[in-house]
């Protein structure tokens, strides 16, 4: 698979490649608070958290030309949310970030990055079926009756899904993935 470009990582800051870019530039959370640009990132991260708590539209991408701002503010926002030690705040942040990521993914024209993001979650872009285990894991928090396993077509250990259903399940998988590592220890 082709390498993921920096511009792609701005929309998908949870990918391991994003963390590698920060490390390669010598950017650390501890070091950010000691610099003016770092304090600006902290302010933007706080704004990102407020957006998620207030239920506003998703936090807008940085348009200032700073090519790593969205990655840094994502990392710092995770730290800030974790410091609240409030489960509801963490959940709101996770939902807002998942909505943001899924919005980008839905509009993504680059099939390589789309496939890379899906691969991060162990899903193929063109999946028409999921293993029962994958399906149950992804649909666990969806409350509509049609998503219950008993109401699905299961054959040979696989659950059949449509392209639209794959998008919904992927959205849930993104939310679960982002939430699985919060709050930070």
pLDDT digits (tens, 9 = 90+) for 99-145: 888 888 888 888 888 888 888 888 887 889 999 999 999 999 999 99
Segment (H or E) for 63: none
CB-based contact 170:135 (threshold 8 Å):
no
pLDDT at position 133:
95
| Ramachandran assignment for 65, one of left (phi > 0), alpha (psi -120 to 50 degrees), beta (any other) | left
SS3 content of the chain, % helix, strand, coil (to 5): 60, 5, 35
Q: Which two tokens stand for residue 127?
A: 């999946």
Hey, what domains does the chain have and what are their CATH numbers?
Answer: 6-180 (1.20.930)
Across-strand partners of 129?
160
HSE (side-chain half, CA atoms, 13 Å) at 104: 21
pTM (2 d.p.): 0.83
Q: What percent of the chain has pLDDT over 90?
A: 37
Task: Tell me what the pLDDT averaged over the chain comes to.
Answer: 87
Mean pLDDT of 19-23: 88
* Span 86-102, pLDDT tens digits: 999 999 999 899 888 88
pLDDT at position 102:
85
With the C-alpha atoms ordered 97, 102, 107, 112, is the resulting torsion angle positive or negative?
A: positive
């Amino acid at each position: 698979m082709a390498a993921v470009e920096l511009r792609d990582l701005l929309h998908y800051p949870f990918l391991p490649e994003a963390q590698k870019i920060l490390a390669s530039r010598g950017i650390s959370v501890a070091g950010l608070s000691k610099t003016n640009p770092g304090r600006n990132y902290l302010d933007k991260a706080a704004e990102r958290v407020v957006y998620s708590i207030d239920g506003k539209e998703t936090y807008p991408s940085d348009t200032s030309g700073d090519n790593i701002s969205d990655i840094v503010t994502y990392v710092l926002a995770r730290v800030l949310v974790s410091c609240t030690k409030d489960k509801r705040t963490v959940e709101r942040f996770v939902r807002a970030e998942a909505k943001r990521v899924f919005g980008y993914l839905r509009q993504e024209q680059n099939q390589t990055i789309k496939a890379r993001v899906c691969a991060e979650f162990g899903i193929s872009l063109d999946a028409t079926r999921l293993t029962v285990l994958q399906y149950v894991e992804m649909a666990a928090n969806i409350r509509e009756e049609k998503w219950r396993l008993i109401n699905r077509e299961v054959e040979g250990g696989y659950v059949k899904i449509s392209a639209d259903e794959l998008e919904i399940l992927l959205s849930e998988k993104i939310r679960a993935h982002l939430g699985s590592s919060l709050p930070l220890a």
